[in-house]
Chains A and B, each alone.
Chain A
């Protein structure tokens, strides 16, 4: 019987590859920079490997799609703290990728202890990539009123203006201090660990992998010299007697085209260059503050007034509005760049050429619809009567899910080449998306802010026109 092992991509990839090599497995297609999701293990028959985002690994092992997995303990606890389950067994601490989960506040807020935060008037805003751990923490601390904002990343950038607390992962408290953050509490000590599905442990023969990975000396601690790019990120807001206009700019794939666009619009943003970006770059306009966050997180934070304006994608705006139809976020300007199609994708081997074919397929089990766009995927499955269906939220590397771990994928594509490369095909185009400027409907009309917001919008409009002329 085949044994399925889920391997992490990203930060743990190097050390995991090294560990597997050390215990005698020769693996092709799992080195850094490799874009394969299905590495091959030569000399060890009957082992199926797949590469996932770390956060997905705990889920995949819990639901039994994979017998074993390697990911950091924090993602396992994030899953188990909300969904009490005995399906995941923590087999062994693998020793590398150590980091802690901290509750932090901004140093500039003057807050130095949890007790001081508990006296906070009103609701405590908590930002985290670990919303479940954040909730357990809030309940254990008996915080009387709190709001949890799940984010895809950059949680430490939100305090103090946009949150009182952030729950973040970091390798040492010193590194937090370097980022202008104060650790108030350590929630969890984490490192890479080998996890197993309980049922697989009880029924299948996993001994070859278990023996290699969970006996003998703990593997050596692979220390990565991760000198922080953003070593000093002190708040650099200029004092002003008027309320600041806060603008969010995207990191990741959208960053480069945004840099080009802002340049074309004549907006100089110091510290937002690709490769050298800080999380709080400086714009040359008085009374305007900029933060760099994940585009996925922007609509929610614009809705809450944390940002007045943000550059994100129409896809993420739509995903937000499907979930919260009365949210006060509006598209202010279509920026036109970063065009992608949001498509429904299936395996090329599946006998379906459109959504109708898919719906008509006779099935014994629910359709598994995977996507980073959970609400768009939900709407797609719902509107197309794919009954019954299950949603599988993903955190990247989504193509890897088809065909073994999902039936349909809702994904964005620019040229379709990545989809074709993974032996997948598009069966439906849901809509076209491009970058857009979004704004908080109330802030845009607020007398104290509206002139400066209108100026920024107008400047960007000229940038769009200049782009068209090019």
Chain B
């Protein structure tokens, strides 16, 4: 009986893993360069870590893989990590509470149930979290880091879109909708249906108009934030700092020469965040995003400290990435037992200088290899260049390596 893989999972084949490792390597290099330290949290966490954080919506929590462990008679459920940020906050509280600033990054898999089974229920993410430090500068640091990492992956032009969760929340409060109603309206707005707002039977028509204004326009400069302030002044409480924060980030990004779009419909999943939200797009696909979540660390039992972070979706990045060039592969054949020992020595030397050296254990298909080396003895080595069909005989390893290097340089 053929046993297939679980519904909603995927295998990463060699060509997928080549892309995966390439993405991971670029991301790690960038993060390490910016002073971020790598962490890895366990796949299993207590479910109450995610319920107590209060940041995941009931719908998201309803899709968490959770179960009773072998010692779970107390009813305490464990969950397969559905999110990278909340476990990072837990890790910080458990180990680094005294650090005024902590910079972490991770490459981890997340799990969430998906009804159709057509999309993967296991998703890989690379994420970075900045705990502590000043707010706007921290957000801009994370945006710069993400753009640098995506840039190095060579995927094409990346669009940056900004929104502000605090501003959306403040405006929506005025409508006085129930939780489910609010989520429904927002779902429609985020899907591009602005008429959902005009269909609202809210007595506050001024507020509905302001919301349509907020979600209907897309700005690209600090001037747009000033305009927003002018229009929304009457709709916001005097102490509301959302627009000031957005203005500061907008100014910083402009001065650093980044292009961006302030688009409040890009704020999907805003429930998680308290401040600015940023998303990265390429060829119409959302590659990842993040934002400020200042309430999270206290919610998981830590001190009152601000925090912000982002995650990039590796599956999306892999989908946009072209074929990854592999190191050159060389096939080594020992002609007989006499050639076995020298061929082993030759293979070791080739690996040391960066080639992939494979022994011929009965390959039928040799087209994958540019070079084939036949070894009779230490002094009798034959090199076949499959790209030109030329055969060369060499009498020492040193001569052979020199020839390969010359070909590589050409």
Contacts and interface: CB of A to CB of B under 8 A. Distances in A.
Interface of A: 84, 123, 125, 136, 138-140, 142-149, 300, 303-304, 320, 323-327, 388
A142 B58 contact: yes
Contacts of B58: 136, 139-140, 142
Q: Which 8 A-B pairs have the closest CB atoms?
A: A147-B75, A303-B73, A144-B52, A139-B58, A324-B73, A145-B48, A327-B73, A139-B61
B62 interface: yes
Contacts of A388: 1
Most buried by B among A138, A142, A304, A320: A142
A136 B180 CA distance: 14
A326 B62 contact: no
Contact of A325 (B48, B70, B74): B70
Given A84-B115, A148-B75, A149-B75, A139 B70 contact: no
A144 B70 contact: no
Contacts of B48: 123, 144-146
B51 A143 contact: yes
A281 to B, nearest CB: 26
Nearest to A150: B75
Contact of A324 (B51, B61, B62, B72): B72
Contacts of B54: 142, 144
B11 interface: no
25 contacts: A84-B115, A123-B76, A136-B62, A139-B61, A139-B62, A142-B51, A142-B58, A143-B51, A144-B48, A144-B51, A144-B52, A145-B48, A145-B52, A147-B74, A147-B76, A304-B73, A304-B75, A323-B68, A324-B71, A324-B72, A325-B70, A326-B70, A326-B71, A327-B73, A388-B1
Nearest to B53: A144
Nearest to B56: A139
A307 to B, nearest CB: 13
A145 B51 contact: yes
Contacts of A146: 48, 51
B346 to A, nearest CB: 48
A174 B70 CA distance: 40
Given A147-B74, A326-B71, 10 more contacts: A123-B76, A136-B62, A138-B51, A139-B58, A144-B52, A146-B51, A147-B75, A149-B75, A324-B68, A324-B70
A379 to B, nearest CB: 13
Contacts of A325: 70-71
B86 to A, nearest CB: 13
Nearest to B48: A145
A300 B76 CA distance: 12
B94 to A, nearest CB: 17
A327 B74 CA distance: 9
Contacts of B68: 323-324
Nearest to B64: A139
Contact of A300 (B61, B62, B70, B73): B73
Nearest to A325: B70
B1 A139 contact: no
A458 B164 CA distance: 69
A320 to B, nearest CB: 8
Contacts of A326: 70-71
Nearest to A86: B115
B295 to A, nearest CB: 13
Contacts of B115: 84
Contact of A304 (B51, B71, B74): B74
Contacts of B51: 138-139, 142-146
Contacts of B1: 388
A356 B73 CA distance: 33
Contacts of B62: 136, 139
Contacts of A140: 58
A349 to B, nearest CB: 24
Nearest to B113: A84
B397 to A, nearest CB: 53
B162 to A, nearest CB: 28
Interface string B319-333: 000000000000000
Contacts of A147: 74-76
A299 to B, nearest CB: 8
A138 B58 CA distance: 9
A248 to B, nearest CB: 15
A323 B74 CA distance: 12
Contacts of A148: 75
Contacts of A145: 48, 51-52
Interface string B45-63: 0001001101000100110
A426 to B, nearest CB: 28
B58 to A, nearest CB: 4
Interface in B57-100: 58, 61-62, 68, 70-76
Most buried by A among B1, B61, B73: B73
Interface in B92-128: 115
A127 to B, nearest CB: 9
Contacts of A149: 75
Most buried by A among B1, B54, B70, B75: B75
Contacts of A123: 48, 76
Nearest to A144: B52
A149 B72 CA distance: 11
Interface in B1-25: 1
A365 to B, nearest CB: 9
A317 to B, nearest CB: 12
Contacts of A144: 48, 51-52, 54
Nearest to A137: B58
A80 B68 CA distance: 20
A123 B47 CA distance: 12
A303 B70 CA distance: 13
Contacts of A327: 71, 73
Nearest to A138: B51
Most buried by B among A300, A303, A324: A324
A106 to B, nearest CB: 19
Contacts of B70: 323-326
Nearest to A148: B75
A208 to B, nearest CB: 33
A43 B212 CA distance: 64
A300 B73 CA distance: 6
A139 B61 CA distance: 7
Contacts of B74: 147, 303-304
A466 to B, nearest CB: 34
A145 B299 CA distance: 12
Contacts of B52: 144-145
A428 B236 CA distance: 74
A125 B75 contact: yes
B354 to A, nearest CB: 47
A405 B179 CA distance: 42
A140 B54 CA distance: 11
A110 B369 CA distance: 78
Contacts of B75: 125, 147-149, 304
A71 to B, nearest CB: 23
A433 to B, nearest CB: 20
Nearest to B69: A324
Nearest to A143: B51
Nearest to B3: A388
A145 B51 CA distance: 6
A320 B71 CA distance: 11
